[in-house]
Amino acid sequence: MKKIILLLLLFSLQIANSQTNYHRFDTYSSKENACTENKADLFSVKVNMDALLRVGGCYIIDFGSEFNLGTRYAIVTNRSEGRGDADFDLVGETYEGVNPCLGGDYNYHRFEIFNSLEDSEKSVCGYSVSGQTFKVNIAFSNLLSLDKVYKIDFGRNFNLGIKYAKILNHSPGRGDADFAIHSNAVIETITVNCPSDNDKDGIEDSVDNCPNTSNANQNDVDSDGIGDACDSQDNRDSDGDGVQNWQDNCPNQAGPSSNNGCPVGDPDFVVIGMSIDAGGTYTSTDTSGALTLRTNQNHKFCVNIKNIGVTTGTINNTALILTNSSSLNSSRIVANLPYPSSSLSIAPNQTKEMCSEVYIWDNYLGYNLSSFNYLHAIADYNGNTSESNEGNNQAYTSVNSSSFKTPTQLTIHDVNGNKINETTINNKTEETDVIKNLPEGFYFIDKDGKKSKIYKEN
């Protein structure tokens, strides 16, 4: 009797010391369902068993009467060495490792996969929509259609799950695929009815104002039913002269059709205002009785020119002249200012400004500033533009001078940016004396912010 008890104790100790391992399985009734991980057939169980199986591996296992499972295709989703909190133990289990996606008639397909049905349908119809591309062998006796969309459960493959797929190409038999699925992974076949949209701009040809040119905005500036993207003819009449813009050489100026929609006549330039900015002292004929000249200051002379003619004209020369008399011809003192360098195109009834700048010390061209009483302006001085009235281009205004002398800040740098001299000067003679003392070379001169470049010779 003691011998029997000892044997029982030894047997119990052997069972207690045997290694069991925890597994969690997703089980399916068929290899097709295991291949596609068909959720409708899924049953998950937690089991302690002797073996330690590979995570992700699929095995045929007889679970016996537990949960009435019997023999199932089981995929290991989790495992750990030693016992765990399992639903039941399998003792002396048998198992066989399998690939549930092998076998059967497989065909190769290359898919473009989308998250939405809308994007997949657009792609089938030729619109530019970006999706993911995968190569898949499908256990299906027929090739899927290139002009349809398929709703497919790709399972855990690349964590895709359920997606909408378009077939890019296919071929009979197996191919070099990323993974394989079973035919029952194809949940739904969707027929796509593509609209007639030749230019693929999202507007059906029947209502597209440019059916052969992409123009999703459908802009039609002249409202003639033809979109701007394909309309070479502007049927508007912007200037109201009865000549449509596409035939009008002057679409913004009224003119007869006999002159291609352009007005008949010439421009006519007149001076309507003058101004001087003398070192920050601004005077204008609009606000002042006389304009002011100042010693030792940079001067900006401006003239406002208006075109009172019927056509657009170009003006590229305007004379600005300081004199002692309101009559230019009878003036004893005449000092020409630099010509404005700009060239202006001035439309009818339009006014534009031309300006010239010069630094003036206590005299200009040998004349004391107090000698100047008038500023004359002559538009189109050289007569380059034919005008309807050549006799109204001239105007003048009174000027006076300020004897208050503000010292000028003079700063000189060499070509390397090194400051050579910084001082104040009161007249041109003092400036000349400073420059005389410089060594030969190039220098940058700054007089109260007005900059120039000189070359000093010895």
Query: DSSP states of 176-209 as a string?
Result: S-SEEEEGGGEEEEEE------TT-SSS-TTT-S
Q: Which secondary-structure segment (H or E) carries 2? A: helix 2-17
**Taken in order 359, 361, 367, 371, is the CA torsion positive or negative?**
positive
In single-letter form, the type of residue at position 296 comes to N
At residue 431 the predicted structure's pLDDT band, cuts being 50, 70 and 90, is confident
Query: How many angstroms separate the CA atoms of 115 and 192, rounded?
Result: 16
Q: CB neighbours (10 Å) of residue 216?
A: 12
pLDDT at 353 over 80: yes
Query: How many angstroms separate the CA atoms of 180 and 136, rounded?
Result: 5
Q: Of 68-72, 182-186, 223-227, which one has max mean pLDDT?
A: 68-72
Q: Which residue in this structure is represented by tokens 């104002």?
A: 209
pLDDT at 13 over 50: no
Domains of the chain: 20-98 (no CATH), 106-191 (no CATH), 233-261 (no CATH), 269-402 (2.60.40.10), 408-456 (no CATH)
At residue 17 the predicted structure's pLDDT band, cuts being 50, 70 and 90, is very low
Overall average pLDDT of the 421-436 stretch = 84
Range with the lowest mean pLDDT among 3-7, 23-27, 345-349?
Answer: 3-7
For position 227, what pLDDT does the model report? 86
Asked whether 227 and 210 are in contact (CB, 8 A), the reply is yes
Higher-scoring residue by pLDDT: 141, 311 = 311
For position 393, what pLDDT does the model report? 92
Query: How many angstroms separate the CA atoms of 180 and 160, rounded?
Result: 13
For position 18, what pLDDT does the model report? 57
Distance of CA 223 to the CA centre of its chain: 29
For position 103, what pLDDT does the model report? 61
Q: Is the pTM of this model over 0.75?
A: no
